[in-house]
Structure 1
Amino acid sequence: MNLKHYFQLTLIGLAFTSLLAPQGRADTTKPNIIFIMADDLGPGWVDYDGSNPKINTPNLQRLAESGMVFTRAYSAATVCSPTRAACITGMSPAQIGLTTHIPGKAGNERKAPKGGPRDAESLNHLPLEMPSYARELKKQGYATAFIGKWHLAGEGSVATKDGIVDSQYHPEHFGFDSNLGGCAYGQPKSWFDPYKNGTIPNRQKDEYLTERLADEAVTFIKTNKDNPYHLSLWFYQVHTPIKAPKDLVAKNGGDRYLAMLESMDNAVGKVLDAVKATGSEKNTMLVFYSDNGGHKPTQWLHDKKGSLLEGGIRVPMVVSWPGVIQGGTSTDTPVNSMDFFPTFVHAAGGSTKEITQLEGLDLKPLFQGADDLDRDALYWHYPHNRPDVKYFMGSAILMDDWKLYKGHGTIPDALFNLKQDPMEKKNVLTENPELAQRMRAKLYAWLKKVDAKMPPVMD
């Protein structure tokens, strides 16, 4: 073979190889955006924080190594529905008017403690007129899909056969091109096929729900690899009932909760592999987050889901975006659920200037190494009864390391210094009257600004 023929064959071989290799999109100005949300997963239940050697979540570890860990990520509420609404809209639950989880059993209001107020009013769906990041992304040419738990479409799902209470409030009416899994359910009717979910066609008997959601996510990613896309993949994991495939339960020594965590992590791995297979790793923002604190407590935080203490509102969060975020980094700047709306829309090239009710901030400065955001406080409002936890009905404000809790006739007000007292054991309200008054005034001003619904005045 002469040198000319050698180079000709080499060039043909290289061309053929390039056809087989994943190419990714030619237009990389608009990143793909994947938003993965866990359900009821508190900090301390992922192995990238080194908290428990028995936890097996290597794909979340892989995500953390490629991106930024948020050590002070918060949910907008202590329970799921209001946080999910805040993520979609960029508005606080108090401003939306949806401040507690939508009851699976219609009219299931928790009883007021003796001498305490009843629950404030709360919506049982996400109103159609609210902003939606999916709608904004569609304006920028994105294909959009929702897969998983929605829990924003009416109350009384427990009494249904398929989880559908009011389908006009399903994800497809908020800018998502497709919806698989999203209905009124707050937890699965069945973790295994048949799913008894009117938005998930049954496919294979005894198939596990999380595996099905992951397969559908992979199909969406591969189908839309040549155009910008957004995927909201919101797992039902690790909400009760605690059930997992038998092989994973056996692998985890009979621990069904650890098996559920591993199953969810396997699903995350399928998504990461699909992104890599389509050649779009360098042009994909991928977020992992949880909707509220865990129903299993976190070792170094006080209380759990339903509480306004840190254990009820702190969540695990990682964001990977190669080329924008340096891998293996972290930030302790407080962020919350409303920040995803402007972050996603701005990354896609859109504008939020006309959406004046937004309360979130674009996180990109943190992605690029900024030490802080232009925000002096975070706020919470949960005017509902939840006596299974310590600090439930109330409102709260976080400023730097200080957190003020305002009870509404149930629990005395409290002030905590989270730096000195991360477990919120010592109420230092009386030692810091001026600070407490300043924080209380800011909290009251915010509650008034968003027209927050308050508990009814006691007789």
Structure 2
Amino acid sequence: MKQEKSYHRQTSRGNLSLLLSIIFILSCSTEPTLASEKIDNNTKRPLPVFIIAGQSNAVRLGSIIPDPNKKNPIGCDIHTYLNTCILKSNVAEKRHQQVVTIPAKSSVRGAGEGMARELATRYPDGFGVIRYAICGSSLHNDWKPDEKNGYYQQYFEPFIAQGMKALEKQSGRKAEIKAVFWHQGESNSHSLKTVNDHGKLLPIIIHKFHTRYNNVPFILGEIREFTNKPNHAALNAQMRKIAAASPFVDIISSRDAEGQTPSNVHFSSRGCAQMAARYVTAWESINNKQVKTHKSTAAPSKKKPNIIIILADDLGYGDLKSYNKEAKINSPNLNKLADTGIRFTNAHTSSSVCSPSRYSLLTGRYNWRSRLKQYVTGSFSHPIIEHDRITIASFLKNQNYQTALVGKWHLGMGWRNQQNLLVYAKNELGDAIDKLAIDPSKEINGPLEHGFDYFFGLASSLNMPPYCYIRNKHVVGELDTTMQCWGTTGYANKNFEFQSVMDELTNEATRYIKTASKKTNPFFLLFSLTAPHTPVVPAERFTGYGGVAKSKYADFIYQIDDSVGQLMSTLKNQGVQEDTLIIFLADNGYAWKAANPGRLAKVGHNPAGPLRGTKGDIFEGGHRVPSIINWEGTVQPQVNDKLACITDLFATIADLADYDFPDSAGEDSISMLPYLHGETKRLRHDLVSHSVVGKFSFTNADGYKAIFARGSGGWGDRLAKDMNLPKFQLYNLDEDIAETRNLYPIQKELFESMRIQLADYILDGRSTPGKVQKNHDDIVIFKGSDAVLERAINRANPEKNKKAHFISTSEDKKK
């Protein structure tokens, strides 16, 4: 490897004399202007800045040759003098750094003049260039984006920060990064292994840059191809695949770009100008689309749509025929909804159990950032949505929406005692009501404290007391008796009937639609079902209609389908069907206690379809769920296999409502709205999933999934350690969706890079671009009795020394 690096650095020496003399001058002015003066006193717009990075070809692409008439230029890393900046090269590392402002109405020269001239026509008021390139550098030996001692974190990021400050001082304007022009890869083309290393590490660089700089366009450049160097073509094909996966990344061709010689990896001066012009053209193409994380490319609707989210409780990925051809359960309305809308086949909840997933839905934030680290809340638990946190309901309410929740809440409630003081259970599942000395006649804090105008439903799941309905802030009727459900006894209203709950909720939802649709402002309805969660109690009229004989589970799903059909009919009768966006999904995978999978298997029905695992597990069956978006007259039928998460509903609905949320909200939410208007590129590049007992998994853009747990990480393998199951797991979901072939023993480096990315998300308090945020408290990725490595303190809250803990997977660590 050292010989390979030496070869590339030697081939760059022919350019060294040029590189050492690179400067910028203001050649069109008769009198020099001080750099500290504003380019144009009337210019209020930010200074557009372009990053040029990579290896030796990037050096030449960003070069600006000095005017031979200019005397005594000043050399420095970042230094300005009479609008002049010259490169200072570290000869040992051949690291070439340059920060330069191109003032208004200036002329430019040199190997990079193609790029500079293209930009000058678009920015006549001036622009900035920050260049950082290392001759002969590879991603695996030099840049090392997944390690602290690599060039990326140690030099590149700090240099950009310093460069931005220098440009602002030099120009007198606020600097704003517009694009990254990246050209690197020759030093990763020596073998298929180094090509594969490049494919793993380049997405990390892109993602880190997008996270820090708000998804600015990232333009890749192909390296020169030769018939006797097939790895060059392989590396280019790999980069094209990376670019195709993101709307914020593009790649330019190197075809017909002139080289120094027919067999030289370096471009000639003319070739550099050709490539530079292609970079700018590609950037302009992305820039014109104006795709941002929180703002979609779609033109806003003249009228904001009504929004209905239907959230099923414990519905399996394989329970609907639209997701599983072998499914035996009847669901005609849901199948029609999927066939006429967008059917997402790779959509996930953030957790494999319900309370955490509901938190993520409403807040756009991964659930493990909250106070709840495992299991679920109870009816008397402390609310897990922070009192000042923005929710979908609260921002829609501020956007003049009517907001309602009908159905299950299950996010903790604030009950009061006789002194009118809020009291909470000591454990998350909730103590008995008599132990808490609660006065049920007092007001209850719940959905109305988090943005909803109206609430009718249950405090928690149907099998959790109290067994009663709550309307807004009060119990409907009195808690005048006790009832038992699935072994849990609790206070109840004597008129409460478990078998009637789904009908009551459906009737309430249709009544709300009829009332809300008569008003001039749009409405948001979260219809949170109690089915097919236990107790499995379909109304008697559905017995035998589910499609599977003697399966109440199938009948319960058929009742869900009937409820969806009633809502669709109500929208049509009210004349608002084309004005209403409908989102249907489940809160996690199927529950084996409810489904009785053994009985279903006898008729060929698997509630998980092709997936492994169930509710509570970290396997796909625990959190990959049916997810459908339907908007009649607006959304065209399509199947979408791109990664999506329940957290993304926050940013998607914010786009629809034209709401620009702050950095302290929706920290893990990415707008899916472009998909509704035909976008085909991947919008989400990775996913963090969480199990019932707090185990993590991380899925990357290439479909690899790292699991930081033995076995299922949930209820499936409670004795995983005793069963000698592996401590870590890695699966290629594209080739092994059933998660049967553990690749961790042969791909530990990939696993380690994914672990580091997960740790970064934890420490940053977010996985999207924006300011670092606080998590509620310490977060443990994997903590064992051996070799626990404590990562750097949480940058959002250093005074409390909060840490993200995770196990080291290096070879010297033993079980």
Partner residue, 1:62: 336
Q: How does 1:29-428 map to 2 (within 5 A)?
A: 29-52=303-326, 54-104=328-378, 125-154=384-413, 155-156=428-429, 159-160=432-433, 169-183=445-459, 185-188=460-463, 196-199=468-471, 201=476, 208-225=500-517, 226=519, 227-252=521-546, 253-296=549-592, 297-327=607-637, 329-356=638-665, 358-382=667-691, 385=693, 393-399=694-700, 400-407=702-709, 412-428=727-743
Contact 2:545 2:558 in 1 (8 A): no
- 3-state SS, counterpart of residue 558 of structure 2: helix
Whole-angstrom CA distance in 1 between matches of 2:452 and 2:526: 9
Greater relative contact order (Cα < 8 A, sep 6+): 1
Q: How far, CA to CA, are the matches of 1:132 and 1:50 in structure 2?
A: 33
Equivalents in 1 of 2:614, 2:667: separation in Å? 28
CA contact (8 A) 2:349 2:624 kept: yes
Q: Which moved more, 1:138-147 or 1:48-57?
A: 48-57
Output aligned runs, 1:1-40, within 5 Å: 29-40=303-314
Aligned length: 405
Contact conserved, 1:143 with 1:177, CA < 8 A, in 2?
yes
Q: Is the 8 A contact 1:156 1:165 kept in 2?
A: no
Query: When the two structures are superposed, what TM-score results if normalisation uses the length of structure 2?
Result: 0.47
Deviation at 1:157, TM superposition (A): 5.0
- The TM-score normalised by the length of structure 1 is 0.80
Point out the structure with max Rg over C-alpha: 2
For residues 444 and 698 of structure 2, the distance between their equivalents in structure 1, rounded to whole angstroms, comes to 35
Name the residue aligned to 2:242.
Answer: none
2:447 counterpart letter in structure 1: P
Deviations 1:20-65 (A, max 9, x none): xxxxxxx951000000000111111113234345311111112112
2:431 and 2:569 mapped to 1: Cα distance? 36
2:634 counterpart letter in structure 1: V
Q: Is the 8 A contact 2:312 2:528 kept in 1?
A: yes
Q: Specify the SS of the correspondent of 1:45.
A: coil
> 1: distance between equivalents of 2:439 and 2:684?
39
8 Å Cα contact 2:309/2:527 also seen in 1 = yes
Residues 1:152 and 1:61: Cα distance change in structure 2 (over 3 Å):
same
Amino acid across the alignment from 2:575: G
Per-residue deviation, residues 257-293 of structure 1 (Å, max 9, x unmatched): 0110011111111111111111111111100011111
Separation (CA, whole Å) in 2 of partners of 1:256 and 1:164: 33
CA distance in 2, matches of 1:434, 1:166: 57
* 1:367/1:351 CA distance change after superposition, 3 Å: same
The unaligned stretches of length 5 or more in structure 2 are: 1-300, 414-427, 478-492, 593-606, 711-719, 766-774, 787-815
Aligned partners of 2:439, 2:412: CA distance in 1, in Å? 9
What's the Cα RMSD here? 3.0
- The DSSP-based 3-state class of the residue aligned with 1:311 is helix
SS in 2 for 1:208: helix
Q: Is residue 146–residue 182 contact of structure 1 (8 Å, CA) maintained in 2?
A: no
Going from structure 1 to structure 2, the CA distance change for 1:289 and 1:251 (only over 3 Å counts) comes to closer
Structure 1 residue runs of 5 or longer lacking an equivalent are 1-26, 108-122, 386-392
Q: Per the alignment, in what secondary structure is the counterpart of residue 365 of structure 1?
A: helix
Change (3 A) 1:167 1:420: farther
Q: Does structure 1 conserve the Cα–Cα contact (< 8 Å) formed by 2:307 and 2:582?
A: yes
- Are residues 150 and 34 of structure 1, via their aligned partners in 2, closer, same or farther at CA, if it must alter by over 3 Å? same
Give % identity.
Answer: 28
In structure 1, distance between residues paired with 2:580 and 2:684: 27
Q: Are the equivalent residues in 1 in contact too, given 2:323–2:626 (CA < 8 A)? A: no
Q: Which amino acid aligns with 2:635?
A: I
